[in-house]
Structure 1
Amino acid sequence: MNIIEIQVSEELKGERIDKVLSTYENDWSRTQVQQWIKDQLVKVNEKVIKTNYKCQLNDAIVVNIPDPEILDVVAEEMNLDIYYEDADVLIVNKPKGMVVHPAPGHLNGTLVNGLMAHCKDLSGINGILRPGIVHRIDKDTSGLLMVAKNDMAHESLVNQLVNKTVTRKYKAIVHGVILHDNGTIDAPIGRHKQDRQSMTVTNVSSKDAVTHFRVLERFNDFTFVECQLETGRTHQIRVHMKYIGFPLVGDPKYGPKKTLDINGQALHAGVLGFIHPRSKEYLEFEAPLPTEFLDVMEQIKINR
């Protein structure tokens, strides 16, 4: 463990401790510094402080920089569908059935394993199991994901998600015929009280969640829709569409038991747009519907 000692000067007094430290070293991201503070690796005048502590003149700051964790996730060669890549970001089209990142008991075959073989420079903000991962989509959801190749890019992309400036449009097939051409679902989402592995619309320990949808095509018993996320809560589209009475086709958790047999929800993250962290240019990408999704569409059309 490396120990750094800093004394607060006149120009730094009154500034938050996380801002002071993130500007002290170019390699220290603010998110990383905040985690060190939470882990009590930062002390001011020999006392543990919080991230919002405002520095005083001549404060003695001691930072105990932890040793780098040894990455025990194995790189695996995969035929990744890369849509864009530069020194800062990478856009990948994840296939249905692939888990985004490793978890205890599931360390192989994930997107992260493939990314580690594809490129060695991934941001470390999310730790050894989720290098580069800025946001996720469910295992059985296909589509586009942003990957950060350094901490600067990671922080920029996360801030854009927080500020709701990232464009995220999904295509989905739902049970039932939606009569409105478009609509907005504004309903908070939290952990289900009885089933802790599921999410639900609730006012208890929940977070705001907003989904906009528009109808693309109607069938006898199904509707093809585009959903645009304003927020990005766990299972948001799946939970919201169930909430208004139109659960996703094939959804094993939130859909009806009698549904089309497609091994997971008919949901595809087709459009992804964001401001590039370095160039500040708006970039937008679109991935076509995968074959299995088109097969379900064809099956519905034949039977209507």
Structure 2
Amino acid sequence: MPTDKLIRNFAFVNGVNRRSFLTGATMFGLGAATTAIVDGCGEGHSMMSTTPVSAAASTDTAANILTAALIAESLAITTYYTALSTEAVITDPNLAGSGGTALNVSANGSQINVAYLQGALLQEVSHAQTLRSLLGLATNGSGDATAKIPQTFYFPSGTFGSLSGFLPVLIDLETAFIGAYMTAVEEFASMAAGYNGFSSTQANPASSGSNLTQADLILYAKVASSILGVEAEHRALVRGIPAVTLSSPNYAGVDLIPANNVNYESSDNFTGLITSVSGDSSTTAAAALGPFITAGSNPVSVATVAAQASFSSVVPASIAANVSGSIPAAE
């Protein structure tokens, strides 16, 4: 399973295991993040305090889900931006080619492949802004750090040393993101129905003292599914970047033919975003992403939201103009 491989490969590099992420061993734990959201934040934070929800302790809350998703999107933004701006990755012949950059692809490079990464970067930025809005966080990102959204992520050695180091990490991350959003859809639906221990009484993080309605929860499931679809496109598109053949389909240890190689997207065996209904915290999205958040080697700072507004240093205006769309409306 991709996420299991991700954990096996990276957990020991960073000196953590799956459970350490959930037991407060990290500086930017999701538990701390959701506590900040439910209980309210200090001075300078734009989000209003909310009353605690009455959901069972064995299930995620709406705030848990949205926070986990925002951290995942911040990680995705950092991953794509760093690849586009790192010479060792972007000058690969499958991307901008020798001497090329994200804004100036060489004749021996691939403008189409570079555009895959540029489009994905802008889409992750849009997803993050939507999640900030739903959480009541300032869209300029000023409240992220106070809400315990990591400002630094930690990558395995060699991730940005070459395309062959970067691509397997990206594929595993996109697979984990797909699983996380699929789980989010299921959990929002369970909240709306009051099913499987999930409470339909969920505090609205963006509005102090109010609760989300059943219609809100159903819409959130729809929003999560719309993001899931885009993450699935990312996984297939980036699998198509290396120039492989039917007779030699393997690249960096991954068989890439066909690029879209699944009949159905998978929840990756996740049983929760932060809290696992099954009781096994090792099967949460939080556990899968934990190694990237635990302080370790190869730190990469998250670009500021001001920079994210256009990322003009790595995305040309012609690409940005063609990436559009907004969240789906309620029926």
Q: Normalised by the size of structure 1, how large is the TM-score?
A: 0.20
Query: Which of the pair has more CA radius of gyration?
Result: 1
Larger relative strand fraction: 1
Q: Normalised by the size of structure 2, how large is the TM-score?
A: 0.19
**Bigger relative contact order, structure 1 or 2, given CA contacts below 8 A and separation 6+?**
2
Larger relative helix fraction: 2
